[in-house]
Structure formats: structure tokens, C-alpha cells
Structure 1
């Protein structure tokens, strides 16, 4: 019954999406679904869309010249190879495993079909659950009960741990096998053997080989290799050993069981006449490395990963989501309690812990409906990115997380580093939501990464270019100017963005050719087959392109200028088609945040000026202090600060406030170097700098020498001499400068730089967080209790994404202008940009967009950036003082209410009514001003009715 329904669904997909004629589709499906043509479990472990893609690959694209074709499943966790040989040899499988070694392999299956094509499916660890037909659930539960009984009857010590650790896909495969439960019980025995042993276990037996319901005359020989806590390369070591004996393998299976200790089970099936005695002796003599306890994934790390996956709102079950939030809340409570020693030092947990402080203030920290809207992820995409390295093809793990896009397309950088992690990308996308909301730019939160060391490609620039272009193609389908806009981040500068841009361009060209009808059937983009219907959906949803407009599709398919213009808004920070104001924006914005914080402290009597200010100068500072979003809305398009006033501030007032003030900076990279340069013009006294080489302490350290050293071969300040009184070697040792006496401390390098251990010893008046997460949640509490003003990370370093927003606006405007004038032959109107422009600066931004990029527009973008940051600082500083909370809590309150407002507006009336009833009155009162903000008009054409519905 299931197969018949599945066959019908796949047939429709082949006909409608892949444009395969009915006769061809029927012939293929009859073959594909015939008895034992494919393993029975295959049809239960793959979605109809995945099977349809496989069929198309296998029957339409695989040819005599192909070594293999590959496909990635819908959730990006399994890569399937169709190998053009009859049987897997150890060498061929070994190469495929080696290609995917960086993918953190959890299991693989290698089988051959009746037609002689081999299928190899490799799955990453932590595979998300998939939908299981209801009728299979009872079989799975019965099988697990039988497993519990078997474990008890045989006196297994680790049986329950095994049963609790196996993945859902394993269970589904098992209950749909020819002999349900046999593998499960066999593996339970293997698991018990491995847990009791500190070395490789080799187990030989025979396996009945079945075709349909009939048993063949001869059994296969089965060799099971089992090991506790295996290193990633152990399977390759075993396959290399088998290869020496020239033994063909009929099929091979690998499962990594992640219990209290992980156990790897490699099962190899060979012809009954294969002589494996010498092979067994040889394998027993091989020394196989295992992980010690310190190398294993900790329980805490797995717990965080599990929580994050459960918070993906598209995939998570309601109860799983609730359990995850409750578990997270308990961890956050422990993580924030300064009365307890010890910290988790996990960026995600610190971020959510600080979020919960704001949720408690708003009275929604236990409100599951509200928390689901603010904590849940929209998508967490994973990719296999093909790269050529050391003359070998390898797949590297790539990620793209979208946390919340209620206020606009997701926005966030791409990290390229060997330590990129799933939980780190998720944490950064979470923080990008609040960073964008706090700046009021019309973006949501996203982040991505590629686990790759750029330094490995220093000798081969072409391979690096190809790898990053492949990364661009891999994430192409889930990004786009109106859906998700990446940028650069750690390891991804303008050059790397240029490489990614070329990948985006080639993918968009293929997509347009497919939608236009020049390319037939499908397009292969990255490792994914894109059907005609999928191409049209991506063009419409991700690029705002009408796929029915033949003129637009023709231009996109044939004109590189237009292709560049459409692609340009898909990524920011580009070496070409960017804006000059994006360069150095993070450091410039950090400086603005320090200037305005010190202004507020001075006017409150908490900062002593180096030189007395005149009454007129103080009056000008009071004008700065009055800047907030309401004033900005009222003043548009006229800036609140005139050119003459800004000149006086820059040349006279700020030097009086900052001259001689002691500054310590941790980090000499882009942000650290930039902020040192920005503050230097006001006469600050740089007394300490630290980086990866160590630290220097002194008096009036020489900025020009510092910049020269960090840009030279040393890339460190450690060899600086001028003004240096003390030199400290080593990054860990150099961190002691954080506790030196200073006026302004700027951690602009590492996460968890200020912790419970050193926060009590911080002696600065202002801590300005240039990096992401430099203060742990406990450190934030301690610094606040010491009345140290902390300019928190997603405000202090938020200028980079704000400048990226400006670049995005420029790119969209240039594209729309071309479409109007060159394609549609009509006069261009800037009004088309209204739905993308933040309304506080609508006319001001339009005045900039009218002009070509140059010195004037760069200056205007920077002044706009300044006013946004001054407004943020003033609003948080005032809210903090009035409500007795830290500035970071104030920032989370502001950004959470802004996101919540947009989310509620976009709901249907019934859903909105349910959510509104669960919001405390305190929060409802605060929400009123957010609903009155003009940006809400961008989310609904019916705002008057919605406000009447909620507030009357």
C-alpha cells in the first residue's frame, strides 16, 4: 500500500517538476519498484522528492563516462552516490569515505542494485528525524520492546544505552528489512562486546542472502569490525587493509552508535568462497587509534546541539520544542547565577541567558507561545561543499542558519574556518536577529559557515576559488536578495566574497535558463537537482523575479550586466558593486558608540573631561543626548546634527572629553586596528594592546608602529618598542591586560574574554564589546553590579551589518533602475524602494540613492550610521537608568519587542488573538509604541484595524 502511494507521488513529481513524459516515467517506475531492484528500506528512509531526484539522476544523467553522480537529501544530512560499477571494491568505497571525512560521518550504506549500479549513502551525525508512516510506529515500538526483553534475558549491561542511542532512520530501515529486528539484536550484541573491550573486536559469521522471500543456496560471509570510541579515520584504515587482499565486497554497512560511549560497527558482506582467514589475522594485527575520554563529544555539547535542532520550528514537534525550551531555561538559569562557580563558556548559551533576562523583565520567560516566536529557528540548512585539495576531491561541511525573518530578509556573515561549528553558526544567527532589530534596519537574523582552513590553499589559489564558488552554488538556493543575504565574516573578506559571488552568478544563470525554457528538465546547482518548478519558486521568492515575464528572463539569461545587478544584492561586502562606507564600518560604528556613551556619562557626572567644556559645548552635547527614533522620524530628511556642529564635535569637544584617557584594546585585527585609529584622533592614551602573539603595556603606545607590525609578516604587536614598558608573550598570558587600570576597555578579539574569573578585577569605566560574545552572561552581571558601563556586543559592533544594509539598498536600487529603463523602457521611480527603506530615514536615504557612489555618498552613509548608533545608545542608556537593568537587557527588550511586533502583525487574526491573550499587560503597554512605529506599515496594509483590534 505504501509503495503504491509512494509510486504515484513520485510519478507526479517526475511529470510535473522534471517534465518527464508519462510513458518514460511509467517504465522507470516499474523497473525501480520491482522486487529487490532497490533495498526495501530505501523507500522508507527517503522522501518522495529525494527518490524522484535519484531516479532522474540515475536514469537520465548517469552515463558510461560517469564515475558516479551524487545527490544531497532534503535536509542536507545524507549524500547519495550512484556509482557506475557492479560491485563496490574497498578502494572505491575508501575514496568516497575519504572525500566525506570532514562531514562527521554517522553511518553509511554501500549496496549494489540488481542493474549493477552501486548506491553509497553517507549520513552525517545528528540526522534530523523524518516523517515515519503511522503504521510503522507500532512495529518500531514492538521491536524496541523485544530489544529490552532480549537485553534483560541475556544480562546485557549496556543494552538499554544502545536502544536509547540509535537513530530513527536506523529503526525505520530495520522494521522494513526482510528480517525485521535481526540487525538490531545483532548490533546490540556487538555494542555489548565493544563496551567491554579496549581494542578492536573482529567477529566472523555467515549471513543468509535473500532474494525476495527466497533464500539463495549459499550464504554470504560477514565480517564485523567493532570498536569503542573510534577516530574518524578508522574505517579508511580497515578498508585499506581489505584492499590488500583483493577481496570484493558485496555490500558494506557502517553505524556509529552514540551512547554513553560511541561504538563504531563496520559490517562487510563477501562471497561465500572468499578466503578471509589471512585478512582476519591481518586486521587483528593492525593498531587502530581510538579517542580517549577527553576527545569524545561531551554530554553538554550534545545537549546544546539537540536543543538547537529541536528549536527549528519547521521540523520540531510541539512537545520536543517545549522540552528544549525548558531544558534551555534551566541551563541559562545556572549559566547566569553568579553565586555559583564555573561557567559553560558557550556562546549560544551566554546569548540565550542574556535574552532570558529581558524575557523575565517582560514577564514572558515562561510563556511558551511567545518563546516559540522569539527562540525558534526558521531553518538550519547543512551542505556538502565540494573542494579540490592536495589533488583530491573532498566534501567539506557548510551551514546556513536562519533564525527570524519577521522584519526582513535574513542577514549574516559567512565564516570560513577549520573550527566552524553547527552550534556556533546557530548562536550567531540568533544574535543577528537582535543586532538587526536593534539597529532598526529591515533585516532578520542569519549566519553561515564553511569548515575549511583557507591557509591550506596558499599554494593553489585556483582550487580555493573553485571551492568558494562551489560554496556559493551550495547555499544559492536558500539565499537571495529578498530572502537571505550573506556577507563576509571571519576568514571571508572581500576577495573570498568575490569568489562566492561568481558561484552565485553561475547558479542564477542556470536557474534563469531553466525557467526561460532554454535548459530542459533540471539544473544541477551545487549537489542539488533543481526542477523547473523549484527554479520558478526560487526566482520569485528569493529574487522577486516574475518568472512569467519573458523579457526579464531573457535579459537575465543573456546579459551579464543584468545578471551582475540581480546577483549583487544577494551578498554584501563585495570588492566590486559594493559601497566604500562598508569598509571599516564595524570599527567606525564602535567608535560612534563610545563617543555617545561617554557623552551620556559626562552629562550624568560620571565622566570627567580632560579639559573643561564651555556652556555652549555642553549645550551641543545635550542635543546629542536628545537624539532618539522619534526625533529622527520628525527630522527626516534634515539631519539633527548640522555639518558645522559635527565639525566642532570632532575637532574641539571630543578631544576635550578623550584627551589622555587610558585605552586598552584586546585584538589587533580589522576591528581592533580600526578602533585604535578612530580614537587616536581624539588624543587618547593607548596603554595596552593584546593579540595572538601576546600583549604590550606602556604609555602612549605608538599607533603607527602597531599598525605597521600587525600588517607585516609578524601580524602581531609583540615586537613593538615605542612607549612599551612591559611585554607579555602568549595569547593566554596576554589576556591579563584586561584587568589593568584604564578608562575604556575594548575586547575586540575573542569570545569569553571577560568571565566570572576576571570580571571582578576589571577596572575600566567603560567596556565596549567590539567582538561577538566577549563577556559571559555571569561577567555581564558582575560588571553591571560594579556600575561599569558595558556597551554590549550586538550594539557596539552592529555597524557592519548596518553598512551592509546600505549596500543592499544601493544594489537593489541599481537593479530596479536597470529593469525600468533598459528592459521595460519606462521612467524609473525611487518609490519602488519604499518597502525596503527604514522609514526613519526614508527621504534621507532616497537622496543618497539618487547619486552615484562617491565621496559625497560615502560621507552621507557614515553620518546616517552615526545617527542610528547615537539613537540606539541614548535609548538603551535611558531605559537602563529608568528601569535598573543593564544596557544589554535594555537592548534585548527593545529588539525583542520590535521582532514580536512584526511577527504578530503578520499573523492571521485568529492566531494573533491567541498570542495577544498570553502577553502580560506590562508588555502590552510597551508594545504600543512599537505598533505605532511607521515601519509596521511595511508589514501590513491594515495597521489601523490591527491596532484597533489589539489596543481598543
Structure 2
């Protein structure tokens, strides 16, 4: 039995490496990390006391280009979580043709208990602590759970001041007026929508009237919901951390967003039945999108999934045991490294624009995003059909092969 995201990441790598007959030397390199930095982040609190937080930056593999990955602030953050996410970023960038390697970072903290001033001091001190290993051509951080445009602005400013000149390309996911990119906010959700359109077309289903359940109606989940709702899909269930709501006749996306802004949850939403987040996963629907946290679909509930298609909006929501059960039940799983790659693709576009000091219109960005995802989906589908693998295994084979080839052609120094 595999427990936790890091064990899942290793199990997936080991499984695919065996299928590929990957040389043991390359396999061992991919199982390990180029660098793991642990830092102390001391800050003065508003009451004058000193508090020390623990922070990390994990860099997995840079064979294909600079490291890329988000920064998350969470009270239950662990180094193993970051290792799994950094490794997954390597595969994600490789699969969709973005010339980056994988990284991830974060601070063990609860940002909801910090004032804005404390959050700024925390961010700036963390940025200063990891400065030796980040840079436009080294490692480019981005937002993740509990971080946002403002956090990225503080990171960019701290790096720029210490560097002696404005360096907008050091982070992505910034505000537009300091080098951010059009289309970045919606990128992950729009990318998932593009992938769903491809899947539906391949399965000869119609987008209009498609029933969809979304676990985690946050930044990513609600964006997917918006695009699918506007395309004529029927959103039958959504959830937040405080519970889920369900209406088989469909939920109004705009009413949901208004209600959540006013109440902070979907509890007592007047046009739906309240259900548990666990129940949402087992509802009959055409498409199930787990877009919350990892390890949501397990061997305990995989046999109860009634969706026709599962699209991973979150990172690592399906355990290997659940994958096996879903494959036996012939429920296709669109893996996270393909489904939610829109964010890193447009982050790459933002980095390119910053480096060139030349910015694109939103239509061009969305067109480029769609082209890359369409191409990646077709490649994954081809390998899956040709070799009889699940979509996840096919995606992992393609991703790992590109990284392994880069390692082989570059060689080992010295």
C-alpha cells in the first residue's frame, strides 16, 4: 500500500521506469534531487516578539531548463509534500514541452493568522533566504496554495532591490503592472477546460448538457466551473472546505460565486441540497473534477465513483491503488500533469515576455495555451492507444523520456 504524495510520486516513477527499461543510473538520478534547501525565516511580529518559521525550496531536475514551481504557505506543509510536487513539476513541464525543470517551495505557517505586515515581512525574509539558488535563469517561483499576486510582488521587489535593478522575470503570477501576463489568472482553469473539450470530442460526447461535479470550488475549480457553465454544461455539485452543495438540475455559477463572497462558504445555499465532500465524489455525473487537495480518490472510494470521466484538477488527487481500480472499471483518468498544466504553461509565457520585455495580447496567449495542450493530449492518447496503457502511464512515459533523453545527451559532469 502506498501512503502519502511522496510515496505515490516514487511509486509512479518506479512503475514507469520499469516499463521503459530505464537505465538504473538515470532512474536513480530521477529518484533524487539536485538540491533541497531548508531555511529559518525569523520575523518580528506586530506585537514586537520574534517568531521563527521554517521554509524550504526543493529543486528536482534542471536537465531541460531552469527550475520552475510554486511557493505555498500552509500550517501542515511537509518537506515530503514539496518533494512530490517538485518531481511532478518536472514531469508536467516536460510533458507539455515547457523548457523548465521542477521545483517547489514554501513556509510552514498559517497565513490566515498573520497580519498583512507580518505576511510581507515573512515573504521578504524567505525570499532573501532562498536568493542564492533562485534567479531568472536558475529557478523561477510562482504562486501556489495561500500565495497570490501580492506575495509574488513582494518576492520580485525583494530580489530586485538586492540585485540592484528591477527583475520582473524572477517570479511569475505577478500583477499586470509589474510584468504579469494577461491570461495568467484563468490559465489553470482554462487549461482544464481545453483538456475536457479534447476528451469529450474523443469520446464522441457533447459538451452542452454535460453533468459536472467539482470538488474544490476555489481559484482553479471555480474558473473551470465558469468556462464549463458558459459552454452549456450542467454543474451539479461544488464544494469548499466547509462542505458541498448538490442540485441534479444544475447550479448557477454566478449565484454560487456571489453567495460564497457574502457568506464564506456554500452552507445553506438556497438552490441546492447540502452534502458532504465525500458524497460529492461519488455522485453520478459525466465528469468529476477533484480540484482541492491530494489523495482524495483512494482504494476506499474508487469502487464507488460513478463519473464517466475523472479529470485531475488538483495535484495528486488519485492514489495508485485507486488508479488501478478505476482502470479496471474502465473510467478514464486524465492525469494532473496534463489536465492542470495550464498554469505552468502561461507562467512560462509570462517569463518569456518578461525576458523579452515584449507582451502579448490575451487572445494570443490563450491560443498558444490551447495549441500546447492539444498537442500534448494527442501525444498521450496516441501512446495510450498504441501500447494499451492508461492515460497516466502514457503521460508519464512521454514526460520521463524527454527528461531521461536530456540527461543522457548532456552526460554527467565531471
Instruction: Quote the residue 2:92 is aligned against.
Output: 435
Q: Does 1:496 align with 2:154?
A: no
Counterparts of 1:406 and 1:376, CA distance in 2: 13
Q: Which of 293, 298, 318 is the equivalent residue of 1:750?
A: 293
Displacement, 1:496? Answer: 1.2
Matched, 1:863 2:367: yes
Identify which of 49, 55, 62 aligns with 1:392. 49
Residue 313 (structure 2) pairs with residue 773 (structure 1): no
- Which secondary structure does the structure 1 equivalent of 2:269 belong to? coil
1:568 to 164, 168, 176: 168
CA offset at residue 497 of structure 1? 1.1
Structure 1 position 875, deviation (Å): 1.2
| Post-superposition offset of 1:454 | 1.3
Q: For residue 582 of structure 1, report the CA deviation from its aligned partner.
A: 1.0
Paired residues in the alignment total: 410
> Hey, what does 2:7 align to over in structure 1?
349
Q: 322, 327, 335: which one pairs with 1:784?
A: 327
Partner deviation per Cα, 1:189-217 (whole Å, 9 max, x = no partner): xxxxxxxxxxxxxxxxxxxxxxxxxxxxx
For 1:540-555, what aligned pairs fall within 5 Å after superposition? Answer: none
Deviation of 1:774 after TM superposition, in Å, equals: 0.7
* Distance in 2, Cα, partners of 1:469 & 1:374: 32
Partner of 1:370: 26
User: Matched residue of 1:381: which SS?
Assistant: strand
**TM-score calculated relative to the size of structure 2:** 0.96
* Deviation (angstroms), 1:883: 1.0
The equivalent position to 1:359 in structure 2, one of 13, 17, 28, is 17
Q: Secondary structure at the match of 1:756?
A: coil
Cα contact 2:169–2:179 (8 A) shared by 1: no
Alignment of 1:269-288 (within 5 A): none
Instruction: Find the residue that maps to 1:399 and give its secondary structure.
Output: strand
- Return the alpha-carbon distance in structure 1 between the equivalents of residues 56 and 313 of structure 2: 24
**Matched position secondary structure for 1:449:** strand
Which residue of structure 2 lines up, in the alignment, with residue 798 of structure 1? 341
Deviation at 1:505, TM superposition (A): 1.7
- 1:808 equivalent in structure 2: 351
Residue aligning to 1:672: 221
* 2:283 aligned to which of 735, 740, 747: 740
Paired with 2:285 and 2:112, the residues of 1 have a C-alpha distance of 36
Correspondences of 1:145-294 after superposition (within 5 Å): none
Match of 1:688 among 229, 237, 243: 237
Q: For 1:680 and 1:465, how far apart are their aligned partners in 2?
A: 37
- Superposed, 1:354-753 pairs within 5 Å as 354-364=12-22, 367-389=23-45, 390-458=47-115, 461-509=116-164, 563-564=165-166, 567-575=167-175, 576-602=178-204, 607=205, 657-698=206-247, 699-712=249-262, 714-722=263-271, 724=272, 726-728=273-275, 733-753=276-296
The C-alpha deviation readout for 1:106-155, integer Å capped at 9, x for no partner, is xxxxxxxxxxxxxxxxxxxxxxxxxxxxxxxxxxxxxxxxxxxxxxxxxx
Could you list the per-position Cα deviations for residues 724-749 of structure 1 after superposition, in whole angstroms to 9, with x for gaps in the alignment? 2x212xxxx32211111100000000
Q: Give the Å deviation of 1:704.
A: 1.2
Supply the RMSD in Å over aligned alpha carbons.
Answer: 1.5
Contact 2:41/2:126 (8 A) holds in 1: yes
Q: Is the 8 A contact 2:95 2:395 kept in 1?
A: yes
Structure 2 stretches of 5 or more lacking a match? none
Matched-pair contact (CA < 8 Å) for 1:412–1:432: yes
Aligned mates of 1:742, 1:385 — CA distance in 2:
46
Q: Distance in 2 between matches of 1:405 and 1:719?
A: 48
User: What is the TM-score with the length of structure 1 in the denominator?
Assistant: 0.42
Alpha-carbon distance between aligned partners in 2 of 1:870 and 1:711, rounded to the nearest angstrom: 34
Query: After the TM superposition, which of the residue ranges 742-751 and 567-576 deviates more from structure 2?
Result: 567-576
| Superposition deviation, residue 719 in structure 1 | 2.6
